[in-house]
Structure 1
Amino acid sequence: MFLDCSEATIRLEIKPLAQDQPQISDDKMIYAMTEVFHKLYKWCIHTNLGYEKRAKHDILVPKELYHEAYSRIKTKYAETIISQWTEKTDVTKFVFEDIAIASYLISLWQLEREQTGSQRLQTFVDLGCGNGLLTYLLVSEGHQGTGIDLAKRKIWDVLCHGREESFLIGISSFAQSLHPPSEVYPNVDWLIGNHADELVPWIPIIAARTESRFLVIPCCYFQLDGSRHKGLSGLGGGKYREYTEYVKGIAISCGYTITEDHLRIPSTRNIALVGQHRNVQAAIEPIIKHVGPFVARVSDRELEQQRRRKVAEKGK
C-alpha cells in the first residue's frame, strides 16, 4: 500500500508469516496492530479526498508531556473512580474526559512554573464544576482549589471520602452565593470553566477582576445575560465556532491574549480558550452595563419544590 503526497510517502510492506509460526496472542500487540492498520487506512482515504486538518492540537502543551501525565493519572485514579461512581451519567465518558482535562492543566501549570521559576503549585476555582471530578483530580495532585456548582451531586461525598476539609469543602450552591457581574476570587491563580453553561462567557470577566489566568471550554451557547446565543453572525465553521468566537471576543475585550487549543478529549466541543496574559487594563463595566441584569437559572430541585407547593395550594 502506497500513499504519495507532496510532503511524505507512507510505504507498507506485508510479509506473510511462516506456516509453523504461532499466532500473536498478546492483547497489547493485537491492539497496537489493529490501531496501526486503522490509522494508515484513515490517513490514506483522507489524503486521497484532499482532507486538510483544521483542529490545532498541542499549542501550549507538548504531546509527549500531556500523554505522560494522562497515562499516570489514568492509572492512578480511573479504576477506583469508575468502581465508586454514583451518578446516572455515562461514567466512562466523564471519567476519561476529566482525566484528559486534568492532565492538560497539570502539564500546562508545570510548564508555567518552569517558565516563572516558581515552586508553588497553582491554586484554582472550578466554576460550574458539575460532578466535581476535575476538582478532585487537581486537588489530589496537590493543587489547592475549590469547585462551585448550582446543585450538589451524590458523587461529591464519595470523592471526599469523609475528609471534606481536603478538597471538595468549597463546592456549594452558586445560586445563593455567586453573582457573576460582581464575583471575584482574591489570590486565586486560575479560573476553570469546564462546560460551565451560563458561566462560560462570564469567566474571562471574573478572571480579569480577580487578576487571574483562566481556561474555559465553551459549550452550551449562553450569552452574558443568561439567554441563548443565537449565532447569527454568519461566521463559517458552524454554531460552535461562532459561540467560541463570541466568548473569545469577551476575553479579548477584557485585555487577554487568547490561545486556542483543541483538547484530546472524547467530545466534539473540545476547544479550550486559555488566557494566560493580559496586555491592557480593560474596561469591564461597559460590557456589564450593555447586557443588562443577569438572571440566574432556577435549579431542578427548586422547580420541583415550587410545583409541589402549587399542587398543595390547589388541594386546600
Structure 2
Amino acid sequence: MATTPSGQRPRFNPSPCDVHPLHHDVPPLRDSDSNDSNPLHFKFQSLVSCPADVPLELFETAVSQLIHHPEYNSTLILRSETISDSDTTIPSAAPRLEGYCPVRNVHRKLLPRRPGRDSGLEQHCTLYALETGEFAGLPSMLVLTPLVPEGESLPYYHPTVSHLAFRFIPSNITTTSDSTSAQPALRIEVTPLPGTPTDLNSRLYRTALALLDTLHRYLWGTLTHYQKRVQHDVLIPREVYQDVYLKMRERHKGIVNTWKESTDPLKHVFEDIGIATYLMLFWKDMFATSSVKELDESPWKSWPRPSGFLDLGCGNGLLTHILSAEGYAGYGIDLRARTSWAHYPDSSQAALKVHALDPTQLLSPGNSNSNDEGKSFWGPGVFLIGNHADELTPWLPVLATLTGASGYLSIPCCAWMFDERFTRSSAASALDFSEDELLDAATPVGTLASEAEDEAIFIASLGLGAEGTHKSQYSAYRIWLARLSRWLGWKIECDTLRIPSTRNWAIVGRERLPGDQSIFVDRARRIVEDVVRRGAFKTRTPEGKGHDGTS
C-alpha cells in the first residue's frame, strides 16, 4: 500500500503487544524447527507495535540507518565498523525463522564511547524476506544477534537478549487463521535472556519502545526524502577523528576536575579537546609531504604541522594549552588574562599573551602600533584560529591574506562585520563594493564558474543543509563569511564539527584560488582602508596584568 506524505510525520502510536496488540492474529516469530533440541533453539516474544505509515518497499533503506549508525540510538556507542556484508553467505548464528528466508547479513562490531568502561561487541544484522505471498523476496525484517564470547556477558549498552527483531507486517499478510490483517504494522520482538524482565516498566521494554520510535521516524524520513540538516565529517573522516579524540580525551579529561573558570567545564573542556583533535588531523592532511612513522601512544607527535599557530581571542586559553601540550608551537592572544592561565604548565603560560590586535594597523608603515612581541605572532606560514572570536571573526580571511598565513579555521558565533554588528541590510553596504560584487567579482581571475552561479549550489557547498534550513540570521552570516573568503581568494571548505556546541559550523581556508594573487591582496587592503576611512573600528584596551605582552 503506497503512502503519500502529507507534511509532518504521523503520530507515533505504540501499543504493548500484551495489552492492545496490533495484528493479534499474527503470532510471534518461531524457529523453523520448533522441535529441534539444538541449544540454538529459541522463542521470540512480541513487546511493542505501532502502525506502519509507509510502504514496505522502503524498509531496507530505513533499517540501513539502524545497521550503520547505532550511535544514534545510544550515547554509550561510538560507532559501528562493518566486518562483512553479504547477500549470499548467512552465518549459522543467524536464526532460521518459520515463513522467512534470510536475504542479507551484515557482520558489524559495536565500538563503545568509553572503551575503558565498556567492551566492544560483534553482532550479526540479518535481513529477512517472506517466503510466500505478494511481498515474497522483499526485505521486511531485521534481526540483531549479538556474538558473546564464551564466559563473557553483554556490555551494558546492549539489551539482555539473544535476538532482537524489527518486523514489518504488511497489510495483506496471510496469518495462521487464514485471515488478512487490515493495517500494516511495525513490531519489536525479542528473545530475552533468562531472568530478563519484559513488563512495561522494564529496561528492555523501554529500549524496544525507543527503537520502534526510531524505526518509525526513519521510515517516514525515507518516504519524504529527508536530508540531514547539516553534514559532518566532510574534511576529516569520522572514524579517524573519533579514534584520535578518544586518546586526546583520556589525556586531558583531568582538566574538568581542576577547572578554574565559572563556566561549565564539561562543555568547554571536551569542546576544546574536540577542536584540537580536528586541527591536528586537519594539519596532518594539509601539510603532508610524505609518510611519517607514527608513535603508538601519541602518533601526532610526528605529524606534519604549520610553522606556528595564532589563536585569536583565545579566552580561557584551553585550546592553546592543549595544542602546546601536544607539541604544537604557537600563541593564544586575548585582551586579558583569565584565571586559568596561571594554572597551566609553564610552556602553556609562555604561549598565552595579553595583546590587543588592531587589524586596521596592518597597512601602517612598520606596523608601529605593535610591539616587537606582537610582530612575532605573524611569522611566515602561521595558521590562524578563530574559535568564537566574535569581532575578529570576519577579519580572519583578511588577516590570512595580508600576512601570508598558511590558512585559517573560523568557528563563528556572534555575528560581526568589520566594525559593526552583522545585519542582512548592512552586509551589502559595509564595504565599498556591493553584495553583487561579492558574488561575482572574482570572475575575471577564474574564481567563479560564471556570473550567474546558482545560489542553491553555492549554499549546498557550505554544508548548511536542505533547502529552507538556511534562512536564519546566523545562516545568512555564514553565507556572507563564505562569500567574503572566496572574494579574498580562498577556496571555500566547510565542515560541521563534532563538539558540544550549537555553534559548531566551521569555514576553513587552506588553499588559494588560482589567478593573480596580488588582486586578492589588493582586495584585502581595500577592506582595511574602507574600515579606516569610516573610523568606526575601535580596538579595546588590554585589561589587567600582562598588558605589556606578558602573561
Is the 2:61–2:222 Cα contact (8 Å) retained in structure 1? no
Number of the residue aligned with 1:128: 313
Please state if 1:56 is matched with 2:231: yes
Alignment of 1:249-288 (within 5 A): 249-279=483-513, 280=515, 281=517, 282=520, 283=522, 284-288=524-528
Question: What residue identity is the alignment partner of 1:295?
Answer: K
Q: Which of 113, 116, 127 pairs up with 2:287?
A: 113
Moved over 6 A (4+): 299-302
- Taking only the aligned residue pairs, the percentage that are identical comes to 35
- Alignment of 1:191 onto 2:244: no
1:256 aligned counterpart, secondary structure: coil
State the one-letter code of the partner of 1:98. Answer: D
Higher helix share: 1
Q: Which runs of 5+ in 1 are unaligned?
A: 24-29, 303-316
The one-letter amino acid of 2:250's match is: T
User: 1:7-22 maps to which residues of 2 (within 5 A)?
Assistant: 8-10=61-63, 11-12=141-142, 13=165, 14-18=189-193, 20-21=194-195
Counterpart contact for 2:320–2:351, Cα < 8 Å: no
1:189 and 1:154 mapped to 2: Cα distance? Answer: 27
Higher strand share: 2
Distance 1:114 1:231, change over 3 A: same
Query: Considering only CA atoms, is the larger Rg found in Structure 1 or Structure 2?
Result: 2
Distance 1:295 1:72, change over 3 A: same
C-alpha distance in structure 1 between counterparts of 2:483 and 2:265, whole Å: 34
The aligned runs of 1:25-64 (5 Å cut-off) are 37=211, 40=215, 43-44=218-219, 46-47=221-222, 51-64=226-239
For 2:273 and 2:214, locate their aligned partners in 1 and report how far apart those are by CA, in whole Å: 24
Shift of 1:48: 5.7
Spell out, residue by residue over 1:9-53, the C-alpha distance to the aligned partner (whole angstroms, 9 max, x if none): 4154132314x3468xxxxxx9xx79x838656535644665321
Aligned-partner Cα distance in 2 for 1:148–1:243:
25
- Report the Cα distance in structure 2 between the residues aligned to 1:238 and 1:62, rounded to whole angstroms: 28
Mean Cα deviation higher: 118-127 or 195-204? 118-127
1:240 aligns with 2:474: yes
**For residues 9 and 209 of structure 1, do their structure 2 counterparts lie closer, same or farther at Cα, with a shift above 3 Å needed?**
same
Q: Deviation at 1:54?
A: 3.1
- SS state at 2:402 partner: helix
Letter in 1 for 2:484: I
CA positional deviation for 1:131 = 0.8
For residues 129 and 138 of structure 1, what CA distance do their matches in structure 2 show? Answer: 12
Cα distance in 2, alignment partners of residues 40 and 102 from structure 1: 35
> Pairwise mapping of residues 186-225 of structure 1 onto structure 2 (< 5 A)?
186-211=379-404, 212-225=406-419
> Any residues of structure 2 matched to 1:299-310 within 5 Å, and which?
none
Paired residues of 2:59 and 2:219 also in contact (CA < 8 A): no
Alignment of 1:67-82 (within 5 A): 67-78=242-253, 80-82=254-256
Work out which structure has the larger RCO, using CA pairs closer than 8 Å and 6 or more positions apart in sequence. Answer: 1
2:269 is matched with which residue?
A: 95
TM-score by length of 1: 0.79
SS in 2 for 1:114: coil
Task: State the TM-score, normalized to the length of structure 2.
Answer: 0.47
Q: Could you tell me how far apart the structure 2 residues matched to 1:121 and 1:52 are? A: 35
Query: In structure 1, what is the Cα distance between the partners aligned to 2:334 and 2:223?
Result: 47
Partner of residue 229, structure 1: 422
CA pair 201-134 structure 1, distance change in 2 beyond 3 A = same
Distance in 2 of aligned mates of 1:245 and 1:102:
25
* Contact residue 121 and residue 142 of structure 1 kept, 8 A: no
3-state secondary structure, aligned to 2:394? helix
Distance 1:17 1:101, change over 3 A: same
1:295 is the counterpart of 2:538: yes
User: Which amino acid is the alignment partner of residue 296 of structure 1?
Assistant: T
* Distance in 2 separating the partners of 1:9 and 1:40: 7
The C-alpha deviation readout for 1:244-293, integer Å capped at 9, x for no partner, is: 12222222222111101111112221111010011241121111222334
